[in-house]
Structure 1
Amino acid sequence: MNRVVCFGEIMLRLNPPGYLRVKQAASFEASFAGGEANVAVSLVNYGLDAAFVTRLPDNDLTVSALRTLRGYGVDVSHVRLGGERMGVYFVEKGASQRPSKVIYDRKYSAISTAAPGDFDWNVIFAEADWFHFTGITPALSDSAAALCLEACRTAKERGITVSCDLNYRGNLWSSEKAGRVMSELMPYVDVCIANEEDAEKVFGIRPQDNNVQAGKINADGYREVAHDICQRFGCTRVAITLRQSLSADNNNWSAMLYQDGKAYFAKTYAMHIVDRVGGGDSFGGGLIYGLLSGRDPQSVIEFATAASCLKHSIPFDFNQVTVKEVENLMNGDASGRVKR
């Protein structure tokens, strides 16, 4: 069985019930989430062995978070205890022309104050085939960025495939700093994952005739974006999600996989969204599973796109779907009829 190690931050997610705004809320629904943890949960749902590595404070919130991950089958044996707090973020669900909104309360979280040497990567990677992180983790602090670099170097020395979802977050760092830091990490990355804006925000690489805010996506232009990333950093594959936002509730969803000089495009899904937070992570999980399971490139991108499409119908961050459910959608079962 393939083993994937995911490294990053898990946080307490709080969202007002229904469509209430944060400033209206008298109560919040609580769950746990984080980009790399979301990927780990997807992978164990598909039958792979996944470990999640982070640093968390020694308190009852951590006990609850680790119990949650263990409940899904994620290996948390390499989580380190230390630091003062678990990061928190608030999710305000958008509707119609009002976008969803995320408010972070994660400064000085336990993982952001961790430093190189805090983890024994050779032990962590002992049986690993794949290492996954996102651009969110190095955005947390300079020491977290150094930790990512330490992990990437060790993974590369051990011949482990490395994937990175760029996941640019303007609330965490500037485009200029993201470009500097990620340019140091990217030479270690084999598989780069991005959304339709990340390459532009981080590296200044954008397709022509594209206007994401207006919902105008030039899908063919992303061939050149992926080609440029491969040329600049030596990645073997680049996967880019292509979201056409019609409103907060309704999006058209597709994606592209670029490898060996060729682009493969998935079919487009018209989605009515229940919860879009975690949608990109579910795509990353589907992509990693597709590649590790030996599928051909077209099947890989179709699987990842369908998996993420289904996630948009599920509340909270974790994708609660099976391989069979994803394959049913890939094969055209998109009616939403009751399964009896």
Structure 2
Amino acid sequence: MSKVVTFGEIMLRLAPNGYYRLLQNDQLQATFGGGEANVAVSLANLGVDATFVTKLPNNAIAQAAVSCLRSFNVDTSHIVYGGQRMGIYFLEKGASQRGSVCIYDRSHSSIQEATADDFDWENVFSDAEWFHFTGITPALGNNLVDICEQACLEAKKRGVRISCDLNYREKLWSKEQAQKAMTKLCKYVDVCIANEEDAKNVFGIAADGTDVYSGRIDKSAYAEVASQLKKKFDFQ
């Protein structure tokens, strides 16, 4: 596969050592992460030419994130700079019966306040074969919905295949907002990645007879969910 472009937010991740809770440890490990950035890194590790696109502030923390991406051979040449801050998330890793806890501090980040003029998609997709984004990015605001659509339109114009991981995050937007935005964006998508919860939360398509919390699973229901999604959006 030739060049794959991913677009989204990379954030500073702060986490206690080991499985301590946030207030049980006086030190936090600083790393970087984000759904689309993680995909770019994974592809680069497999030898794929991967490019990550975002907007970052022009400061030392953002440069550390860029250096981290470059260390994995991810192309960062299309990252744009501006705005005041990177998004941050605090992660408390779960242990035994205690689930993980994620706390966002990403309001007014550079990418959240980006505009359509920030990105030269014609140049970004000049030699690309694939474009990937997730439902996390348009969840950051209506401006990001428009930017994602702009990217999809340019990708389609150039014959670039598009994939999207629905990845519904209730901390970022409502089901109604997600359905409106993703219905608009998924008409451009060739390959959709989702689980039964995403399909239900975003599009109201439920896997009948399946409840992951109780452990009751009907495999045929998953095929029906996939069939309904394909029929609705003509996914490949």
- Contact 2:132–2:162 under 8 Å retained in 1: yes
Contact persistence 2:55–2:110 (CA under 8 A): yes
Letter in 1 for 2:127: E
Structure 1 residue 223 and structure 2 residue 223: aligned? yes
Give the CA deviation at 1:144: 1.1
Report SS of the residue matched to 2:155: helix
CA distance in 2, matches of 1:222, 1:189: 20
2:29 is matched by which residue type in structure 1? E
Per the alignment, residue 60 of structure 2 pairs with 60
1:94 partner SS: coil
Contact 1:56 1:110 (8 Å CA) reproduced: yes
Provide closer, same or farther for how the CA distance between residues 173 and 12 of structure 1 changes in structure 2, counting only shifts above 3 A: same
Instruction: Please tell me the residue identity of whatever aligns with 1:182.
Output: M
1:123: Cα distance to partner? 0.3
- 2:197, 2:5 → 1: CA distance? 26
SS in 2 for 1:23: helix
Q: Is the 8 A contact 1:196 1:212 kept in 2?
A: no
* CA–CA distance in structure 1, aligned partners of residues 215 and 13 of structure 2: 28
Per the alignment, residue 84 of structure 2 pairs with: 84
On the 8 A contact 2:196/2:207 being kept in 1, the answer is no
Secondary structure of the structure 2 residue equivalent to 1:217: coil
Moved over 6 A (4+): none
Determine the C-alpha separation between the residues in 1 that align with 2:195 and 2:57. 32
- Shift in CA distance, 215/102, structure 1 to aligned 2, threshold 3 Å: farther
Instruction: Tell me the residue number matched to 1:172.
Output: 172
Gaps of at least 5 residues in structure 2 are none
1:136 aligns with 2:150: no
Q: Work out the CA distance in 2 between the residues paired with 1:154 and 1:30.
A: 35
CA distance in 2 between partners of 1:192 and 1:182 (Å): 11
CA distance in structure 2 between the aligned counterparts of 1:22 and 1:147, rounded to whole angstroms: 35
Instruction: Please state how far the C-alpha of 1:215 moved relative to its aligned partner.
Output: 2.8
Which whole-Å deviations, capped at 9, do the CAs of 1:199-258 have from their partners, x for residues lacking one? Answer: 00100101111112223332221101011111111111xxxxxxxxxxxxxxxxxxxxxx
1:109-188 alignment to 2 at 5 Å? Answer: 109-188=109-188
Q: Percent identity?
A: 55
1:10 & 1:162 partners in 2: Cα distance?
20
Deviation, 1:149, is 0.7
What whole-Å deviation, never above 9, does each CA across 1:301-334 have from its counterpart, x for those lacking one? xxxxxxxxxxxxxxxxxxxxxxxxxxxxxxxxxx
Shift of 1:164: 0.2
Distance verdict in 2 for CA 1:99–1:215, change over 3 Å: farther
Residue in structure 1 matched with residue 69 of structure 2 by the alignment: 69
CA offsets 1:270-327 (integer angstroms, 9 cap, x no match): xxxxxxxxxxxxxxxxxxxxxxxxxxxxxxxxxxxxxxxxxxxxxxxxxxxxxxxxxx
Given that residues 93 and 100 in structure 1 are in contact (C-alpha distance below 8 angstroms), is that contact kept between their aligned partners in structure 2? yes
Corresponding residue for residue 200 of structure 1: 200
Matches of 2:202 and 2:98 in 1, distance apart?
26
Say if 1:90 and 1:103, in contact at 8 Å, map to a contact too: yes
Report the 3-state secondary structure (helix = DSSP H, G, I; strand = E; otherwise coil) of the residue aligned with 2:179: helix
Tell me the residue number matched to 1:189: 189
**C-alpha distance in structure 2 between counterparts of 1:219 and 1:24, whole Å:** 42
Superposition map of 1:260-299 within 5 A: none
Whole-Å separation in 2 of the counterparts to 1:124 and 1:221: 39
In structure 1, distance between residues paired with 2:91 and 2:216 = 26
With structure 2 as the length reference, what TM-score do the two structures score? Answer: 0.98
TM-score by length of 1: 0.68
Deviation at 1:14, TM superposition (A): 0.8
CA distance in 1: counterparts of 2:105 and 2:137, whole angstroms: 15
Counterpart residue number, 2:107:
107
Give the partner amino acid of 1:56: L
Shift of 1:78: 0.3
1:22 lines up with 2:2 in the alignment: no
5+ residue gaps, structure 1, are: 237-340
Shift, 1:195, TM fit: 2.4
